[in-house]
Amino acid sequence: MTFLTPAMPTPALRPVPERIAFMAAPTDNASQTRDLLAQHYGNVSLEQADIIVCLGGDGFMLETLHKVLDADLSTPVYGMNCGSVGFLMNPLQQDNLPERLARTQAAELNPLYMTAVSDTGEVTHALALNDVFLFRQTRQAAKLRIDVDEHVRLHELICDGALISTPAGSTAYNLSAHGPIVPLSGNLLPLTPICPFRPRRWRGALLPSTAHVRFSVLEHEKRPVAAVADSLEIRNVVAVDVHEDRSQKVTVLFDPGQTLSERIVAEQFSS
């Protein structure tokens, strides 16, 4: 009897892009790579591009994705690692780039929407693709109250801070703060304390992606707190509301077999 091994499905090809926009981090390596690629494949603006190629590390990838969101573009972004960690990036290879882009697989990311109110009453809105976190500004520990869907879930958390991450961001600061890694398909948001002092044994919560979370800063004059949405920092906040914004999304491209979902699973087995 002969047993046949089923063939692995071949990823569907997207059209070979004719117009590529190259974005480079402000480093010599990234800038030189952009110049070489642009000379070979051409270079167009973000608004004209079929695909955006981001050259840098994870931080510059987040900057590029925010530009896509701010411009209300649906253009997918493909990262090539010219930085250090490169969790969101693909290997740096210059040959046959359009054909390589046609074989990529996509991951759609929804950002968190943050509304932060300062002690002067100023309101700031921001999007975060990695996380929103609060942290103490002085030697005094922060004192926070946490409401989820208008129900007080934690009356008082004394800590260095707290964060909510997207599934894609769960392997970043959230993981360093001993929060759980969440798969992209999990429809969950990790809520993780940063160095909790009281309640000492509280390790956070996994919330449904539909949850609306409010952080209220207690004793804010004595214990000032800042809020950060990705790279945007707001000082002296008194209240911060966070929820996932399903009305907005960005598309990130990965080489076959190296999708973001696969990387998040693999991260849980790494040493």
Q: Is 168 annotated as a binding residue?
A: yes
Average pLDDT over residues 215-227: 97
Residue 245 has pLDDT above 50, yes or no: yes
Taken in order of first residue, the domains within the chain and their CATH numbers are 20-109+249-267 (3.40.50.10330), 112-244 (2.60.200.30)
Could you list the active site residues? 58
Given pLDDT bands bounded at 50, 70 and 90, which one contains residue 3?
A: very low
What pLDDT score does 271 carry?
62
Q: Is 239 annotated as a binding residue?
A: no
Q: How far apart are CA 96 and CA 217, in angstroms?
A: 53
Residue 10 has pLDDT above 80, yes or no: no
Mean pLDDT for the chain overall:
92
Average pLDDT over residues 59-68: 95
pTM for this prediction: 0.88
Q: What is the DSSP letter of 7?
A: P
Q: How far apart are CA 261 and CA 120, in angstroms?
A: 42
What pLDDT score does 151 carry?
97
Q: What is the DSSP letter of 90?
A: B
Q: Is 70 annotated as a binding residue?
A: no
Q: Where are the beta strands (DSSP E) in the chain?
A: 20-24, 51-56, 77-81, 105-109, 112-118, 123-128, 131-136, 142-148, 151-159, 161-165, 188-194, 205-208, 212-217, 225-229, 232-234, 237-244, 250-254
Residue 170 has pLDDT above 70, yes or no: yes
Residue 6 has pLDDT above 70, yes or no: no
Q: How far apart are CA 106 and CA 258, in angstroms?
A: 10
Given pLDDT bands bounded at 50, 70 and 90, which one contains residue 12?
A: low
Contact 206, 183 (CB under 8 A): no
What's the chain's Rg over C-alpha atoms? 21
Residues ≥6 apart with Cβ < 8 Å to 3: none
Q: How far apart are CA 250 and CA 184, in angstroms?
A: 14
Q: Is 95 annotated as a binding residue?
A: no
What pLDDT score does 224 carry?
98
Q: Is 119 annotated as a binding residue?
A: no
Q: Is 130 annotated as a binding residue?
A: yes
Q: Is 59 annotated as a binding residue?
A: yes
Average pLDDT over residues 131-142: 97
25: buried, middle or exposed (CB in 10 Å: 19+, 13-18, 0-12)? buried
Which of the residue ranges 1-5, 145-149, 159-163 would you say has the lowest mean pLDDT? 1-5
